Amino acid sequence: MSAPAVIGRQPVLVTGGAGFIGSNIAHRLASEGHDVLIYDALSRPGVERNLHWLQSCHPRRISFVRGDVRDEDGLASVARQASAVFHMAAQVAVTTSMVEPREDFDINVRGTLHLLDALRLSGRRVPLIFASTNKVYGDLADVEFRLEDDAYRPVDRQIRAHGISEARPLDFHTPYGCSKGAADQYVLDYARSFDLPTAVIRMSCIYGERQMGTEDQGWVAHFLIRALEGEPITLYGDGHQVRDILDVRDAVGAYMAAWRQIDTVAGRAFNLGGGPQNAVSLRQIVAEIGDLTGREPDIRFNDWRAGDQRYFVADTRMIRSTLALGQPRGWRDGVASLAQWLMDERGLSLASSAPKRRVPA
């Protein structure tokens, strides 16, 4: 499916712009007066709501082309119009990659290469910021942990104090880790080999408004939705695994800063997450949800999933110093804000949540 040329001015292109982070980036761009072109296959349930919201908020700033990043001609057509690109379109779930590894490769690697080469062949130095993942560092099985207060904590003092830095060797696990890692490296190499102003942001767990959380991806929103609807929450593994969760508003701020300072960050990769101050285990999130709703969620357990990290906290010192970012929002405030948005969005109330149940040991 070839995408038509839909607007005359050169917009900022957001691939996957109807998705969770993409729609928040598009909203910020349009709010700041930029024309935005969203290229999205609308393949994920619920993202149409994000698109309609964007179009209603910014009817003169938002343009939309329905297209798939695997469509080389269609993607090249919109890339030729772009003044800058935020490449957020992806196959986003480890579980899906285990079932459909070829599709995962085609979307995440081939689609990214289509986009990079379209920019290369345009003859223009168009900035591109790529959404990568902490999964490029593998399962971190060599890092020693101890269990403290329902959470795995590193024994190593440096990692405990600051998290996992960009100096950590890459170690792709699962087809998803391989595809995102390969795309990550292509983006960096196109800066090196072809002088394209590209940069990579390796994200930890992002949460916030417009997140249509599912069991496979977007777990903070998923936990909240399940609890608010009175449905059980399944924890894969023991629930002590730790992530540094980051409110999407802070993540968008980092993406915008990277674009504004593209000459400084071109050819570089940065870790982005909530940092040690926002490091929280799945069990601790569940307990917080219980406090927010006044009812402890019904928790069930299942086997560990492939490539799952017992602990990942991003060392954010490099991205924060390079881009002069402020301190991120505290996770409790952010989760409470997301809970309120989900209730408003879904017409839910605290009274609709389930009776009290204890979290099993």
Measured CA to CA, the distance from residue 312 to residue 5 in angstroms comes to 42
Are 207 and 335 in contact, with CB atoms under 8 Å apart? yes
Range 90-352 has CATH code 3.40.50.720: yes
On the question of pLDDT at 96 being above 80, the answer is yes
Per-residue pLDDT for 179 more than 90? Answer: yes
pLDDT for position 215: 74
- The pair of structure tokens assigned to 14 is 């957001």
Mind listing the pLDDT tens digit for each residue in 133-159? 999 999 999 999 999 999 999 999 999
Band (pLDDT 50/70/90 cuts) for residue 349 is low
Residue pair 259/320 in contact by the 8 Å Cβ criterion: no
pLDDT digits (tens, 9 = 90+) for 228-244: 999 999 999 999 999 99
The answer to whether residue 24 scores a pLDDT higher than 70 is yes
Going from the C-alpha of 277 to that of each of 3, 144, 162, 204, 283, the distances in angstroms are 44, 20, 9, 14, 17
Q: Rounded to 5 degrees, what are φ and ψ at 352?
A: -85, -5
Owner of token pair 């996992």: 164
Q: Which two tokens stand for residue 171?
A: 């170690």
Residue 8 has pLDDT above 60, yes or no: no
The predicted structure's pLDDT at residue 350: 59
pLDDT tens digits along 293-342: 998 899 999 999 888 899 999 999 999 999 999 999 999 999 999 999 99
Give the burial class of 253: count Cβ atoms within 10 A of its Cβ; 0-12 exposed, 13-18 middle, 19 or more buried. Answer: middle
Say if residue 4's pLDDT is above 90.
no
Angle at 290 between CA 245 and CA 300, to 5 degrees: 85
The model's pTM:
0.93
Confidence band (pLDDT; 50, 70, 90) for 216? confident
pLDDT greater than 60 at residue 199: yes
Model confidence at 359: pLDDT above 70: no
pLDDT band at 6 (very low <50, low <70, confident <90, very high): very low
pLDDT at 183: 98
Mean pLDDT across the stretch 63-74?
98
The pLDDT value recorded for residue 346 is 80
Q: Given 137, 176, 186, 255, which residue is catalytic?
A: 176
Domain positions in the chain are 90-352
Number of Cβ within 10 Å of residue 182's Cβ equals 18
What are the tokens at 90? 């992806």
CA angle 25, 26, 32 (to 5 degrees): 90
Q: What is the 3-state secondary structure (H, E, C) of the chain?
A: CCCCCCCCCCCEEEECCCCHHHHHHHHHHHHCCCCEEEEECCCCCCHHHHHHHHHHHCCCCEEEEECCCCCHHHHHHHHCCCCEEEECCCCCCHHHHHHCHHHHHHHHHHHHHHHHHHHHHHCCCCCEEEEEEHHHHCCCCCCCEEEECCEEEECCHHHHHHCECCCCCCCCCHHHHHHHHHHHHHHHHHHHHHCCCEEEEEECCEECCCCCCCCCCCHHHHHHHHHHCCCCEEEECCCCCEEECEEHHHHHHHHHHHHHCHHHHCCCEEEECCCHHHEEEHHHHHHHHHHHHCCCCCEEEECCCCCCCCEECECCHHHHHHHCCCCCCCHHHHHHHHHHHHHHHHCCCHHHCCCCCCCCC
**CA-to-CA distance for 145 and 134, rounded, in angstroms?**
18
CB 174 within 8 A of CB 96: no
Whole-angstrom Cα distance, residue 171 to residue 188? 17
Mean pLDDT (whole number) for 176-203: 98
Query: Which amino acid type is present at position 263?
Result: D
In the block, which residue shows the tokens 């839909």? 6
The mean predicted confidence, pLDDT, of the chain is 93
Give the strand order in the sheet containing 12-15.
62-66, 36-40, 12-15, 84-87, 128-133, 198-203, 269-272
Q: Let me know if 152 is a catalytic residue.
A: no
Give the percent of the chain with pLDDT over 90. 87
